[in-house]
């Protein structure tokens, strides 16, 4: 979402209902609000609405009072539209070049977007706000999508919500770079991770040792079981012989 208001009401008495000579227009004031540090937006918006009401510009005051504070990702994009104007214009121009099918436009679009994402991270750091994955993803997507779909809104720097990804953004902003094979270079085989290979070999050796140990234990157990079965058979024969001897005596 973006915001825009017309510069004052069209009234016969401009001294009362419009901005006085030399005073900033309502558009200028709104632009100033969306360029402020995020924590100052609400206070300054409410102060502007009070001044407009004091000047009997009630419609403008009501419209200003309804201005939405931008979410963090949108605020980042708004600041980039002011502080990184050249890169923002380069992104918009590259998006237009992609639509026109001009060669090299994808690379220019990606380079401008990457530069702006780095600048956005630095901006968050300087503002003392964490550059979480979600925030970076949202402002990066907004930069790419708005450059393609709504370049004037992006340049205006008054967004309140991030843009959602579009087909154009996915194609131009997330397309992989040209591979080595595309440039006629041979693809190098991936090198194995030595640490992981060593760990796997050690695990295999340990498993083999355990299998051998259990095998030996099983053999010993089988021999012991055979001996015990033989002893049990001998005892059974002894019982039978003793019973027979007893029977002869009776």
Query: Are 58 and 77 members of one domain?
Result: no
| Residue 54 belongs to domain spanning | 14-65
pLDDT tens digits for 99-112?
Answer: 999 999 999 999 99
Mean pLDDT across 1-12: 42
Q: Assess if residue 228 is contained within a domain.
A: yes
Residue 7 has pLDDT above 80, yes or no: no
Query: Are 37 and 132 members of one domain?
Result: no
* Residue where a domain stops, chosen among 48, 65, 82: 65
Q: Assess if residue 153 is contained within a domain.
A: yes
Q: Assess if residue 182 is contained within a domain.
A: no
**What pLDDT does 238 receive?**
76
Q: Assess if residue 9 is contained within a domain.
A: no
* Residue where a domain stops, chosen among 125, 143, 177: 177
**What pLDDT does 225 receive?**
67
Tokens of residue 63, six digits: 């419209």
**What pLDDT does 191 receive?**
59
Report percent pLDDT > 70 for the chain. Answer: 68
Report percent pLDDT > 90 for the chain. Answer: 55
Q: How many domains does the chain have?
A: 3
**What pLDDT does 146 receive?**
95
Query: Are 83 and 50 members of one domain?
Result: no
Mean pLDDT across 102-129: 96
Q: Assess if residue 186 is contained within a domain.
A: no
Q: Assess if residue 187 is contained within a domain.
A: no
Query: Are 81 and 29 members of one domain?
Result: no
Q: Assess if residue 183 is contained within a domain.
A: no
Rounded to the nearest angstrom, the gap between the alpha carbon of residue 117 and the centroid of all alpha carbons in its chain is: 12
Query: Are 140 and 218 members of one domain?
Result: no
The sign one gets for the Cα dihedral 184, 185, 186, 189 is negative
More confident residue, 205 or 244: 244
Query: Are 136 and 60 members of one domain?
Result: no
Query: Are 163 and 221 members of one domain?
Result: no
Residue 242 has pLDDT above 80, yes or no: no
pLDDT tens digits for 10-32?
Answer: 333 333 345 555 567 899 999 99
Query: Are 91 and 157 members of one domain?
Result: yes
Query: Are 173 and 138 members of one domain?
Result: yes
pLDDT tens digits for 186-217?
Answer: 444 455 667 666 666 767 666 666 666 666 66
Query: Are 111 and 159 members of one domain?
Result: yes
**C-alpha to C-alpha distances, 15 to 6, 22, 24, 50, 61, nearest whole angstrom:** 17, 12, 14, 17, 16
77: which residues sit within 8 A by CB, 6+ positions away? 120, 139, 142, 143, 146, 154, 157, 159, 162
Query: Are 93 and 162 members of one domain?
Result: yes
Q: Assess if residue 46 is contained within a domain.
A: yes
**What pLDDT does 24 receive?**
76
Question: Angle 167-174/133-149 helices, nearest 10 degrees?
Answer: 110
Tokens of residue 226, six digits: 């055979």
Query: Are 86 and 108 members of one domain?
Result: yes
Range in 36-40, 91-95, 140-144, 234-238 the model is least confident about = 234-238
């Amino acid at each position: 979402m973006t915001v825009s208001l017309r510069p004052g009401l069209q009234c016969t008495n401009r001294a009362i209902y419009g901005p006085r000579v030399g005073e900033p227009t309502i558009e200028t004031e709104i632009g100033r609000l969306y360029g402020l540090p995020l924590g100052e937006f609400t206070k300054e918006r409410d102060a502007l609405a009070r001044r407009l009401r004091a000047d009997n510009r009630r419609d403008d005051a009501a419209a200003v009072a309804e201005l939405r504070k931008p979410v963090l990702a949108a605020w980042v994009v708004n600041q980039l539209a002011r502080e990184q104007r050249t890169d923002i214009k380069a992104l918009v121009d590259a998006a237009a070049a992609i639509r026109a099918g001009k060669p090299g436009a994808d690379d220019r679009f990606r380079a401008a977007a990457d530069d702006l994402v780095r600048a956005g991270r630095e901006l968050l750091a300087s503002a003392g706000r964490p550059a979480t994955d979600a925030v970076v993803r949202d402002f990066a997507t907004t930069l790419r999508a708005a450059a393609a779909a709504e370049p004037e809104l992006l340049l205006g720097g008054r967004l309140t919500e991030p843009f959602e990804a579009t087909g154009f953004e996915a194609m131009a902003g997330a397309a992989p770079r040209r591979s080595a094979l595309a440039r006629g270079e041979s693809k190098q085989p991936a090198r194995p991770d030595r640490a992981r290979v060593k760990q796997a070999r050690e695990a295999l050796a340990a498993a083999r040792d355990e299998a051998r140990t259990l095998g030996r234990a099983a053999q010993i157990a089988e021999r012991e079981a055979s001996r015990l079965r033989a002893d049990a058979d001998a005892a059974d024969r002894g019982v039978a012989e003793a019973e027979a001897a007893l029977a002869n005596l009776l």
